[in-house]
Amino acid sequence: MSWYRNTVWFAKGLREYTRGGYESASRHFNPADVEVDVAGRSFLVTGANSGIGKATAKEIARRGGTVHLVCRNKERAEVAKEEIVTETDNQNIFLHIVDISNPREIWEFAEKFRNEHKLNVLINNAGCMVNNRELTEDGLEKNFATNTLGTYIMTTALLPLLEKAADARVITVSSGGMLVQKLNISDLQSGNGPFDGTMVYAQNKRQQVVLTEQWAKAHRNIHFSVMHPGWADTPAVRSSMPDFYKWMKNSLRTEAQGADTVLWLAVSAEATKLPSGLFFQDRQPVPTHLPLAYTHSPPEDEEKLMQMLEEFSQKFKSVSPG
C-alpha cells in the first residue's frame, strides 16, 4: 500500500501544499482573526532562528506578544533576535540556547524557565531531517531525538506552567508527509532495515499527531493542535531535500505563508472554538489519514507510544537537590 499512499499524498500536495494551494485557501480567511493585540501574553517558539519558526515569532512580536526564542545555534539566534526586535520594535524578545535533540538540556531549560517566566502558548517548531542514520551523544537517533522525544519532553516539562495560564495553547508543527506513515512503535529509533531519512521524518511527524491527540485527552484546560505548513521555501527544505527543492522551488510557499496557520492557532479566538487535538492545514481541521490508506493504529499502540516516551524522558531527567 505504500505506493498508493505516496502517490495519493503527492497528488494532494501538488494541489494543496504549494503556493497556489495557499493562495486558493487564503481567499476564505478572515483577516480579523489574526489582527489581534497579544500584549501581556507569553509565547515560546522552538527552532525560532529561521524558517517558519522565525516567521511565526516575528508576527507574534508585531502583535505585542512576549516571545521566547529557543534555538540551538547562538550566533544565528542572535541575528534572528536582532532582526525581530528591529522590524517589530518589540523589546520583549528573549533568547534561550537549547539543543532540542539533547533531552537533558531540555529538562534543565524547562525547570529554569518554569521558575522565572509565565507561559501562555508553546509552539513546538524545531525539527530536523537527517538523511543518514546519526546518533546523538546520548545514543539516540537524531531525527527521533529532535522531532519526537524533544517535542515530548519540552511539552511535558512545561505543562505545569501552561496549566496555570489563561487560554493556554500548544501548537506542534508537523508535516503532511505523516499521511504516508502508520504509527510504528516497534522501531522508534529506526535501527532495523535500510534507513530512509524522509520516511523516518514522516514517521516522527505521525508520532507528533498522536502525541497531540493523546495530550488533548489528558489536559482538558489546554488547547492542543498540530498543523501542516504546506511545502514552504525554508533553509531546512533546501538543505535536507535538495532534489525536491530544485524541482519545486518555483511553487513553494513563502515562510510567512507556511507560518500563517501557526500564527492563527497561536493568537486567534476562532482557533480555540474548535476541539482540542485536531490536525490543521490552512486554518482548517483536516483528516489525519488518507482514504483507503490503512494508516490507522490501534488505541493500545498510541497509549504505548506515550508510555515509551515517558520512560525515555525519565532517563534524562536529573533530580534537583532537596
Any idea which residues carry the catalytic annotation?
A: 201
- Alpha-carbon gap, residue 65 to 185, rounded angstroms: 38
Task: Give the DSSP H or E segment for 210.
Answer: helix 197-218
Cβ atoms of 176 and 290 within 8 Å: the answer is no
Give the CA angle between residues 123, 127, 133 to the nearest 5°.
160
Cβ atoms of 171 and 227 within 8 Å: the answer is yes
Please enumerate in sequence order all residues whose Cβ is within 8 A of that of 59, keeping only pairs 6 or more positions apart, or say none: 34, 256, 259, 263
Q: 286 is written with which cell numbers?
A: 483536516
Strand 168-173's sheet: what is its strand order?
Answer: 93-97, 66-71, 42-46, 121-124, 168-173, 222-228, 278-281, 284-285
- Alpha-carbon gap, residue 122 to 165, rounded angstroms: 11
Q: 290 is written with which cell numbers?
A: 488518507
Cβ atoms of 167 and 119 within 8 Å: the answer is no
* Residue 254: HSE in the Cβ half-sphere, 13 Å Cα cutoff: 6
The β-bridge relationship of strands 284-285 and 278-281 is antiparallel
Cβ atoms of 73 and 254 within 8 Å: the answer is no
Cβ atoms of 262 and 125 within 8 Å: the answer is yes
Residue 262: helix, strand or coil by DSSP?
A: helix
